[in-house]
Chains A and B, each alone.
Chain A
């Protein structure tokens, strides 16, 4: 039985896994203590639950629990990592390096630092969405203190060569921050091996609740940060504020499940995604955005030429998808990620991001394939641009008359 709309927008957010919700609820109801309350059993048991969850988060990523700081989400973690490190180490230099395809949570933060006298280099990715290692290396200067590159891109799902970038940064004494919000549960992360100094995590992209995230802060060698949230001194003074036990328990359980199920789940999801791509790639004038191989198995981002983007979204309302990142879909700007890949505005506008996940079924995939075929045909039938293309006219040579 299909439930409509079919949810294919897992990169925007994921449903809370029922097993996670089950773990969370007691901590909302009977066991409601403030984990910082040292004076009674309610507080102590909440504190223990928080530490157990911290352990589960650490284990998924090969970190020491002492290196995990709770935040309210990956946006906050990115702000804390970048501002915190830049402000702490600004005596050594004021240059940062990042990539044009980062999430707004990183780009807006670096822009903010630019207004405070920092210089930022925004690298262009290659056409397949990946960062060129030589370009990356060349961008690092003696006065570079921090580089920030996301592990998995939220729009096109490509996986950056984090391991090699870590080596490069370590070799040059540059602190390396990685936004792993879209990576947990999808790629194996081992911070004991990766030379990454700061890593941002989100619960709600990995079947956990919204409103909770974490920041990994390396202890060996020790990375220092200027705290951004001051007060009661929680999280070793790095992030003050009452800890929300039920949310933390949720994130711990979500990450524990991810560790246990990631391998088998990725297999299943890859098969579903490949089925979807196979079903759609036989449509004419369809372009995959981003490298197919260096990509998580959950993501398919496709541009459909000669179809107007908004009409396309309207025509496929039976499936819940995204055109451009969720966080910025308030504006009708073409996706800046796709533009950075070199896509023309029109193609960028007619792109759809399909992201599947734990609860996606084959039936849902097949329905989607049929739907897209039908609706693309319909929309192109109505499109004079499609007619011209079919007649062999090169649209780039047309002189359009102004009205």
Chain B
């Protein structure tokens, strides 16, 4: 099959060969249900315990703070709906640039009498402390602000915001799904600053799809989303997906070991990419804000992003025109709109998210292909005009 160069790591990542090796036995002979008391079950239980330790170590948490779920969306739903169910309705504050799996659950809380407040971001996509403090004063008892944005890569100053939340006695959650493996994620330090929960996901760090975790301060009371056999200390019932959890643990271990080296290498590649983009008529969003080392969200003046992306796929490059989850609808990126970017410019947006398999050659060839494709599209536009 024709395999384009993959530059869409924020959407999902390929499985690391060592992760596959760790998982395979659990798709083969080690098939026990972890709740069974016999040897097959005990082996599964033990594998999950090990994976839990690995995930905890990667995020600086205690294993008992790790709750496995089937995905990041589920973990975000679990926290927002679960915490809200144990609080008296007030205001839930989420940033204006959250992923739909944080925004939508927050909106659902309206049915239970909650108000939803969107915390504005500036032109760079960063939350200002004054806006945040104003949100808390509503009063907002539940807050969620993502650590790293999936589209722009922008990082928020979570410790500062969490400190304000704690002073206002609000539970603070951060979606760290894009952050893990790219920048340091230390729950112990974040928790000390006021973060009560964070979400991480396996398939963003070269692990399998199907496993994620809500890392949770035990003081937070949560009503479970899924009831039943009582797994995960009753917070998430259902037969554990041992293979995916084992893969998640292995991926976490690898990610921690490589974090510094990966981040340095990716930053170098990203810089090279941006240097090349500067020569074309492009605008890189949030260029000067603190960002993930691998993400470049940019627009080519006057070119439709969807069209450009489709053309690039044909010439051998897999990129995105925004979040995968919302690529069903042709709406412009709500992150860019929240940053005050016009809908027209937002429609030209393109995201490159680099990863382990990408080389300098990929970047050079991508820039070439981008240049050629843009010329072609402009040429066609000129003919049509």
> Hey, which bits of chain A sit against chain B, CB under 8 A?
5, 7, 9, 12-16, 18, 21, 24-25, 28-34, 36-43, 45, 72-76, 78-79, 103-105, 108-109, 111-112, 202, 204, 209-212, 228-234, 240-247, 313, 317, 320-322, 325-330
Chain-A contact segment, one of B4-12, B55-63, B130-138: B4-12
Closest Cβ–Cβ distance, residue B358 to chain A (whole Å): 14
B220-250 residues with Cβ-Cβ distance < 8 A to A are: 225-231, 237-244
Kindly list chain B residues whose C-beta atoms are within 8 Å of the C-beta of A78. Answer: 228
Smallest CB gap from A105: residue in B:
B228
Contact B38 A321 (CB under 8 A): yes
A-B contact pairs, 5 of them (CB 8 A): A29-B15, A72-B71, A79-B226, A240-B73, A247-B209
Contact A313 B243 (CB under 8 A): no
Contact of B104 among A75, A230, A246, A327 (CB under 8 A): A230
**Given A13-B239, A328-B230; 12 other pairs, CB 8 A cutoff:** A14-B31, A28-B15, A34-B11, A39-B318, A43-B318, A74-B238, A76-B226, A109-B227, A240-B100, A241-B73, A246-B210, A327-B237
Contact A329 B104 (CB under 8 A): no
Closest Cβ–Cβ distance, residue B335 to chain A (whole Å): 14
Cβ of B20 under 8 Å from chain A:
yes
Knowing A75-B228, A75-B237, A240-B104, say if A330 contacts B40 (CB, 8 Å).
no
Kindly list chain A residues whose C-beta atoms are within 8 Å of the C-beta of B39. Answer: 5, 317, 320
Contact A244 B244 (CB under 8 A): yes
Contact B38 A233 (CB under 8 A): no
Smallest CB gap from A76: residue in B:
B226
Knowing A76-B226, A109-B227, A242-B71, say if A210 contacts B239 (CB, 8 Å).
yes
Contact A39 B310 (CB under 8 A): yes
Cβ of B294 under 8 Å from chain A:
no
Kindly list chain B residues whose C-beta atoms are within 8 Å of the C-beta of A24. Answer: 27
Closest Cβ–Cβ distance, residue A115 to chain B (whole Å): 10
Cβ of B376 under 8 Å from chain A:
no
Contact A329 B73 (CB under 8 A): no
Cβ of B118 under 8 Å from chain A:
no
The interface on chain B, measured as residues whose beta carbon lies within 8 A of the other chain's beta carbons, has a size of 75
Contact B319 A40 (CB under 8 A): yes
- Looking at B12, B15, B20, B29, the one whose CB has the most chain A CB atoms below 10 A away is B12
A108 to B244, CA, bound (A): 26
A229 to B237, CA, bound (A): 15
A108 to B230, CA, bound (A): 9
Closest Cβ–Cβ distance, residue A137 to chain B (whole Å): 28
Cβ of B95 under 8 Å from chain A:
no
Kindly list chain B residues whose C-beta atoms are within 8 Å of the C-beta of A234. Answer: 325
B277-311 residues with Cβ-Cβ distance < 8 A to A are: 306, 309-310
Knowing A210-B241, A232-B325, A246-B209, say if A317 contacts B71 (CB, 8 Å).
no
Kindly list chain A residues whose C-beta atoms are within 8 Å of the C-beta of B225. Answer: 79, 228-229
A210 to B238, CA, bound (A): 10
Contact A39 B319 (CB under 8 A): yes
A109 to B127, CA, bound (A): 39
Cβ of B321 under 8 Å from chain A:
yes
Cβ of B191 under 8 Å from chain A:
no
Contact A246 B38 (CB under 8 A): no
A292 to B73, CA, bound (A): 44
Closest Cβ–Cβ distance, residue B155 to chain A (whole Å): 22
Contact A242 B31 (CB under 8 A): no
Kindly list chain A residues whose C-beta atoms are within 8 Å of the C-beta of B3. Answer: 30, 41
A336 to B239, CA, bound (A): 19
A245 to B230, CA, bound (A): 27
Contact B209 A242 (CB under 8 A): yes
Knowing A12-B33, A229-B74, A230-B104, say if A242 contacts B203 (CB, 8 Å).
yes
Contact A36 B73 (CB under 8 A): no
Kindly list chain A residues whose C-beta atoms are within 8 Å of the C-beta of B313. Answer: 39-41
Closest Cβ–Cβ distance, residue B89 to chain A (whole Å): 15
Kindly list chain B residues whose C-beta atoms are within 8 Å of the C-beta of A39. Answer: 8, 306, 309-310, 313, 318-321, 327
Contact of A230 among B35, B105, B208, B244 (CB under 8 A): B105
Contact A42 B70 (CB under 8 A): no
Knowing A39-B310, A328-B230, say if A72 contacts B35 (CB, 8 Å).
no
Closest Cβ–Cβ distance, residue B243 to chain A (whole Å): 7
Cβ of B384 under 8 Å from chain A:
no
- Looking at B15, B36, B102, B226, the one whose CB has the most chain A CB atoms below 10 A away is B226
A40 to B323, CA, bound (A): 13
A314 to B38, CA, bound (A): 10
Contact B209 A329 (CB under 8 A): no
Closest Cβ–Cβ distance, residue A253 to chain B (whole Å): 12
